[in-house]
Amino acid sequence: MKRESASSRPARQRAAKPKSTTHNFIRVVDGDELQKNPVIRKRVDRELAALAKAGYENIDTSDAPELPAAQWKNAIRGVDAWLKIVRGNKLYKPVKQAVSMRLDADVVAWLKQAGPGYQTRANEILREKMLTKSEP
């Protein structure tokens, strides 16, 4: 019987067919992908319909007990409220990108009339519009 060298074992292990993991993980899908990919949209709609059909009473929440009212007292609701708190604590720092835009002179004058920080104000106005508008 021929004895295998230690170095040949890892090669044989790597050559083995990997186990399928398609049902063992949860994939996070962002809003753009959900809108642009009809296959993903169909799957998500199907899963949501199955959950709605099952009803809330059939969902096992034993591993996530309901929080008492006292813990909901200071809950943050909505993206705007969350951003305000996170930005106030300097935890949220979005990546900035330098751009060149042609704006009407009266718009720039209006932004500058409140003093320094007109670009930040313009960014806040655009972000608010972006977050409240449902479709591009």
Q: Looking at residue 101, what is its pLDDT?
A: 92
Q: With b meaning 16 or more CB within 10 Å and e meaning fewer, what string describes 62-100? A: eeeeeeeeeeeeeeeeeeeeebeeeeeeeeeeeeeeeee
Q: Rounded to whole angstroms, how far apart are CA atoms 121 and 127?
A: 10
The mean per-residue pLDDT over the stretch 55-81 comes to 78
Q: Looking at residue 100, what is its pLDDT?
A: 93
Q: In this predicted model, which residue has the larger pLDDT, 75 or 113?
A: 113
Q: In this predicted model, which residue has the larger pLDDT, 87 or 21?
A: 87
Q: In this predicted model, which residue has the larger pLDDT, 31 or 69?
A: 69
Q: Looking at residue 25, what is its pLDDT?
A: 61
Rg (CA), the chain: 26
The owner of tokens 């720039």 is 108
As a whole number, the mean pLDDT across the chain is 76
Q: Looking at residue 17, what is its pLDDT?
A: 54
SS3 content of the chain, % helix, strand, coil (to 5): 50, 0, 50
pLDDT of 20 > 60? The answer is no
Q: Which of 12-21, 32-41, 82-91, 114-123 has the lowest mean pLDDT?
A: 12-21
Q: At what angle do helices 118-132 and 79-88 cross, to 10 degrees?
A: 150
Residue-wise pLDDT for 91-105, tens only, equals 667 788 999 999 999
Residue-wise pLDDT for 26-66, tens only, equals 677 777 777 788 888 888 888 888 888 887 777 777 888 88
